[in-house]
Structure 1
Amino acid sequence: MFIFACNKQNSQETIRSGTGKGGRAYGGVFRVSEAEYVKSLFPPSIIDGFSYRVASQIYEGLFKFDTHTLKVIKSLAADYTVDSSQTIYTIKIKPEVYFHDDACFPNSKGKEMTAEDIKYCFTQLCKESADNQGFILVKNIVKGANAYYQASKNGKKPSFEVEGIKVIDKYTIQFILDKPSSVFLYNLARPGTFIYPREAYEKYGQDMNFKSVGTGAFYLANTDAEIAMILKRHERYHGTDSLGNALPFLDAINIRFIKDKKNELFEFKQGKLDMLYRIPTEFILDLDSAMAQSPRKGEYMNYELQRSPEMLTQFLVFQTKEGVFRDVQVRKAINFAIDKEKILNFVLNGEGDAAGNHGITPDIFEDYKIDNIRGYAFSVDSAQIYMKKAGFGKGKKFPKITFTLNAEGGRNTLVAVEIQKQLKDVLGIDVELVTAPLAQVVDDAQKGRFELLRVAWLADYPNPENFLHQFYGKSVPNDPKQISFPNISRYKNPVFDDFYEKALNAKSQAEANNYFAKAENQLMKDAPVAIIWYDESYRLLFKYVKNFPNNAMQYRDLSQVWLEKSK
């Protein structure tokens, strides 16, 4: 087993104990697990929730999300102004913010972060490269970003700088936009805009996927491939809590990768994990019953159950550019043939917010009502009618299709088996299930190497646009051999694009939502996806875990978590 260890900051590490203001305890290790191994911790390459949850403890952006409200708040930014044209953002950054100690720096001592580091990271976002999935965060937004991207193609070094990224002084960065943007501030809080030092990228290059150097409350201490990651406290972290306590409280975070949810539940009950995210489907009803008792009995007295709707939609993606799914009639037939209510209530035992009978956007955003989005309720008659329209009536058998998914603790497999059965029963379609590691599934998705693909989309900022931008046709490359992300279905419709663009340029959120809804209705009419269910956050914690609020994005800031008892 190959193991690399950073061995950073060891000479300075101290084990803290005691209590801060408000009775908040220092020390301890927070133990958590993930069902999939992270794909990449390099900010411009982060596209999955597993990687995001780890990276957000190591890196920081200019802004972040409040873990209680999910509103955008300052992080590395100390203050900011926006001019009257809404196109010039001038951001003062905090002084005395230090990168983690690392061999990329002289004497392995982390340097102070300045505006030059921010300029470097955003310039990298504007550059075409295999490890940059974040260009969408600045494309058509930051002035000169598109021109710089075009000039950097095929590894070329542009002869000019990005016009809209300017260093004013050591602690001031300025962004100039092409036009007002309703999403730019959100983008400054997303993982693609996390800040890292030039020195690290120049030293490690592609190894930045797991050689992380940031300013966050924790640094990556060691990794045991596909088994565990250890994050340790950043000794010179700049953050404080609302009471003035120096952050973080924890000494370390131990992240284990446990693919089997039953094993994960066993480890939690044995006291070897402090939190469990998602419960094995077959245990949900018993757990709900035990947690609902008053008073609770036995081990359940020690647990806190956190359950709420999530900004996460589970759905299927069709390959729309080739094969049988080029035909919209076939896609509609598949949509009607899937009984989402049965999947939610009997396969998942109710672990979900609602069946996917509307659009791609979950019913969680204020003033955006998904009841106005027309989806596909289960209908055997409609499914068979549309299949006949596609030419697959009597005497013509539908070809066998391949359904690709990642297992993620087994839940995805249970759902896939039920979908396989339903498509056979309703339409006579033979479906082959192919289960692969998440990294392979993501790679195949971007390259269009699938017929039918299971996808879960978790918002990384709270806005309907986060769900709809993955279907923007102008982001799809003309060359089918090129990577397409986030539009993996390679769906294109100028009507959708027009509504989507009008929403981005709207003067109010209400106006934007009106156009988003029109775009989403067009999307569902074209059916490049089949919505299965809208998910919920289902977490089980030991009661000694404090200040760890649940939220709809599963956005986690472990810098403020503390443990009431030592373990």
Structure 2
Amino acid sequence: MIIHTMQRFVIPVIALFTLMMTTACQGPMKQSSEETLTAVPGGKFYGGIFKMNESEYIKNLFPHSIIDVYSYRVASQIYEGLFKFDQHSLKVVPSLVESYTTNDALTKYTFKLKKNVFFHDDPCFIDGKGRKLNANDIAYCFTLACTKDKNNQSSNLFVDVIKGADDFYDKKADSIEGIKVIDEFTIEFTLEKANSMFLYNLARPGAFIFPKEAYELYEDEMRTKCVGTGAFRLSSVDEDISIILKKNENYHGFDEYGNQLPFLNALVITFIKKKEIEFFQFKKQELDMVYRLPTNFIINILEEADKQSKKYNLQRVPEMSTQFLAFNNQNETFKDVNVRKAFSFAIDRQRILEYILNGEGYKAGIHGITPPVFESYDISKIKGYSFNLDSARYYMNKAGYPNGKGFPAITLDLNSEGQQYNNVALEIKNQLKKHLNITIKAEISPFSHIAEKSTSGKYEMLRLAWIADYPSPENYLWAYNSKLLPASPKDKSYPNLTRYANKQFDEYYEKALTAKNTNEAFQYFMEAERILMKDAPFLVLWYDEGYRLIQPYVKDFPNNPMQYRDFSTVYFDNAKELNAQK
């Protein structure tokens, strides 16, 4: 998974500097000044420790439980699926698959697996030695993903998609008819009907592959006990402090020059919550990347980046990320579409973008939930909500709350993620008071608590960001399919966190999934999104723009709209300069 006041937030320079100095040296694994990089064909180098920071700690690294972007970014270095995304183009490309074929109806897929893939060494194996991946591992993981279990948030990838998966999920069958192991390195899937998203689903975290031995030994401990086939293996976890991933010496990947991947020796992820401290560490070259800049200093940072272009590189790109407020559509207050529309018209998004975020966003969210980053999907054709005080008050009156009279106390839940969202929450609180004469309470919690509230439905209004884990508008719409709602409102709901239901929306969404081509699918998705926006189950705030600074010696690490990161090909350049800097 994934805020500023009306006044500029100012921190006294001396106090900030003191705070930074006391925390800047807390990193768990320092680059040795004696470590050298080894040159290899293609002008690349082996060696180096890549250090980065995340503002929020991971929730769960078990593939079937991953619902947040922080866990995904770590897990995707450890685990692999049959497919993955190219971090330059975001096209889906083979990962564990050597080749594949389909029938003409696109209802049968046959995959040939690579024969040189091994799981990481781990005590779950005999003698602790990682064994070779085979087709039974794929069948095991996908079957487990179609099982009702408290740890499983991934059944939607295959239930109603692979033939017989729904019967297995409902315990009407002992196996899944559409999963067939042909031989040691060949597996076949038969679908209920053609599905335009099937290959994308095979690259998502819920389709990451792990060995049966690990699941049987660790069970719930797989939250942080990880055994995959990825370029890096989990070395250590210091809860809420750091995670260290070390190079998988037995990795199956090679680059175009025949160099075995990965190039880096290790990845170190820390979890410092203050963006000012993170940026200060980056400037001291104690971090190799900083993602999302401290809002209070963003203008100065951008000016400095232009002047200091040789010292570090600024990467910015519109992102596949939408910031919004989720309404619990089963909550007594937000059941009323008039209340939801009143809130949606009452917020001045442009003010938030310009004065609260200092421009650190791509566009105000006045259209749909889908961000404006997909070719041939023009979100300007979707009518959303922009600030309109007359309309806001009209719908509030229609809901029975003239001038806010009688409106109940409402709580907005959020995680802080480096102060930004706190400030946005305060601005929203001020605007709702000013424009609708209603009072809301903002409650800040750790991200793990927010994730729990979102799935359990124990919230009224929730600050969320939907960050794509595959590049398609469908990624933003699947979360509103009523088929994904639990039978009881007391049960957990994922991905339909707003608990929204509209049969007409479902019909267009289903038509898109079985469309003959992308253009046809996009037409149906757009019709579905228009219906969604009329119902206003959420309040879109803004579409993100990704600001990322990387050190100049970091190579083959492109920024992309999904913030998809593949460290298997990243390397450090210029050993002499690197060691002098470190």
Secondary structure at the aligned position of 2:470 is classed as coil
Report if aligned partners of 1:125, 1:135 keep a CA contact under 8 Å in 2.
yes
Structure 2 unaligned regions, length at least 5: 1-34
State how far apart, in whole Å, the 1-side matches of 2:443 and 2:366 are: 26
Residue 76 of structure 2 corresponds to residue 56 of structure 1: yes
Of residues 34, 43, 46, the one that matches 1:23 is: 43
Distance 2:510 2:523 in 1: 12
Tell me by how many angstroms 1:291 deviates.
2.4
Assess if the C-alpha contact under 8 Å between 1:303 and 1:543 holds in 2: yes
Q: Offset of 1:234 from its aligned partner?
A: 0.6
Equivalent position to 1:232, from 246, 254, 257:
246
For 1:175 and 1:392, the matched residues in 2 are separated by 54
Matched, 1:498 2:507: yes
Percent identity reads: 52
1:361 aligns with 2:381: no
Equivalence map 1:364-513=2 (5 Å): 364-393=373-402, 396-513=405-522
Counterpart of 2:102 in structure 1 is 82
Q: Secondary structure at the match of 1:19?
A: strand
Letter in 1 for 2:56: E
2-side partners of 1:390 and 1:448: how far apart?
23
Structure-2 residue corresponding to 1:551:
560
Residues 395-404 or 473-482, more deviating: 395-404
Distance 2:208 2:41 in 1: 30
Deviations 1:420-450 (A, max 9, x none): 1100110011110111111111111111100
Check conservation: 1:278, 1:537, Cα contact below 8 A. yes
In structure 2, distance between residues paired with 1:265 and 1:40 = 26
Query: How far does residue 395 in structure 1 lie from its aligned partner after superposition?
Result: 8.1
Residue 160 of structure 1: CA displacement?
Answer: 2.2
- Which of 154, 158, 170 matches 1:138? 158
1:172 pairs with 2:186: yes
C-alpha contact (below 8 Å) 2:404/2:438 kept by paired residues: no
Q: Give 2:318's aligned amino acid.
A: P
Residue matched to 2:289:
275
Which residue is 2:220 aligned to? 206
Give the whole-Å Cα distance in 2 for the aligned partners of 1:17 and 1:451. 53
User: What amino acid does structure 2 have at the position aligned with 1:263?
Assistant: I
Whether the 8 Å CA contact 1:402–1:433 is kept in 2: the answer is yes
Are the equivalent residues in 2 in contact too, given 1:323–1:451 (CA < 8 A)?
no
* TM-score, length-scaled by structure 2: 0.92
- Which secondary structure does the structure 2 equivalent of 1:91 belong to? strand
Secondary structure at the counterpart of residue 419 of structure 2 = helix
User: Does the CA-based 8 Å contact 1:16-1:251 persist in structure 2?
Assistant: no
AA paired with 1:161?
Answer: S
1:265 corresponds to which of 279, 286, 292? 279
Deviation, structure 1 residue 192 = 0.6
Aligned to 2:360: 351
Secondary structure, aligned partner of 1:31: strand
Q: Deviations over 1:461-482 (max 9, x none)?
A: 1110000001111111120111
Quote the offset at 1:35 in angstroms. Answer: 0.6
- Between the two proteins, the alignment pairs up a number of residues equal to 542
**Which residue does the alignment assign to 1:123?**
143
CA distance in 2 between partners of 1:242 and 1:413 (Å): 46
Residue matched to 1:188: 202
The alpha carbon displacement at 1:261 in A equals 0.8
Per-residue deviation, 1:55: 0.4
Note if 1:39 corresponds to 2:53.
no
Task: Report the Cα offset of residue 84 of structure 1.
Answer: 1.3
Aligned to 2:528: 519
Which residue of the partner structure matches residue 161 of structure 1?
Answer: 175
Deviations 1:293-328 (A, max 9, x none): xxx25xx53110000100000000111112211111
| 1:322 pairs with one of 331, 350, 357 | 331
Aligned to 1:337: 346
Q: How far apart in 1 are the matches of 2:515 and 2:111?
A: 24
Instruction: Tell me which residue corresponds to 2:27.
Output: none
Following the alignment from structure 1 to structure 2, what is the Cα–Cα distance between the partners of residues 380 and 106? 68
Deviation at 1:397, TM superposition (A): 3.1
Closer, same or farther: CA 37–561 of 1 in aligned 2, 3 Å = same
**More off after superposition, 72-81 vs 322-331:** 322-331
Contact 2:326/2:538 (CA < 8 Å) preserved in 1? yes
CA distance in 2, matches of 1:559, 1:174: 28
Amino acid at match of 1:362: P
Instruction: Report the residue type matching 1:302 in the other structure.
Output: K
Contact kept? 2:314, 2:549, Cα under 8 Å: yes
The separation in 1 between residues aligned to 2:173 and 2:404, in whole angstroms, is 63
Distance 1:451 1:239 in 2: 47
Measure the CA separation in 1 of the matches of 2:485 and 2:431.
32
CA distance in 2, matches of 1:209, 1:453: 25
- 1:90 is displaced (CA, Å) by 0.3
Letter in 1 for 2:339: V
Asked if the contact 1:472–1:492 (Cα under 8 Å) also holds between the matched residues in 2, the reply is: yes
Question: Any residues of structure 2 matched to 1:292-303 within 5 Å, and which?
Answer: 292=306, 296-297=307-308, 301-303=310-312
Contact 2:242 2:268 survives alignment (8 Å)? yes
Pick one of 87, 92, 97 that aligns with 1:67: 87
CA RMSD of aligned residues (A): 1.2
Q: Counterparts of 1:486 and 1:161 in 2: how far apart (Å)?
A: 25
Could you tell me how far 1:16 is from its partner in structure 2? 8.3
Aligned to 1:221: 235
Give the distance between the partners of 1:110 and 1:159, measured in 2 at CA.
32
The match for 1:249 among 236, 247, 263 is 263
Q: Which amino acid aligns with 2:41?
A: K
Tell me the amino acid that sits aligned with residue 287 of structure 1. I
Q: Which residue of 2 aligns with 1:100?
A: 120
Answer whether contact 1:89 1:174 (CA < 8 A) is retained: yes
1:159 to partner: Cα distance: 5.9
* Cα pair distance change 1:395/1:99, threshold 3 Å: closer
1:381, distance to aligned residue in structure 2 (A): 1.1
2:300 is matched with which residue: 286, 295, 300?
286
For residues 447 and 528 of structure 2, what CA distance do their matches in structure 1 show?
Answer: 29
Q: Which residue of 2 aligns with 1:3?
A: none
Deviates more, 1:281-290 or 1:529-538: 281-290
Deviation at 1:269, TM superposition (A): 1.3
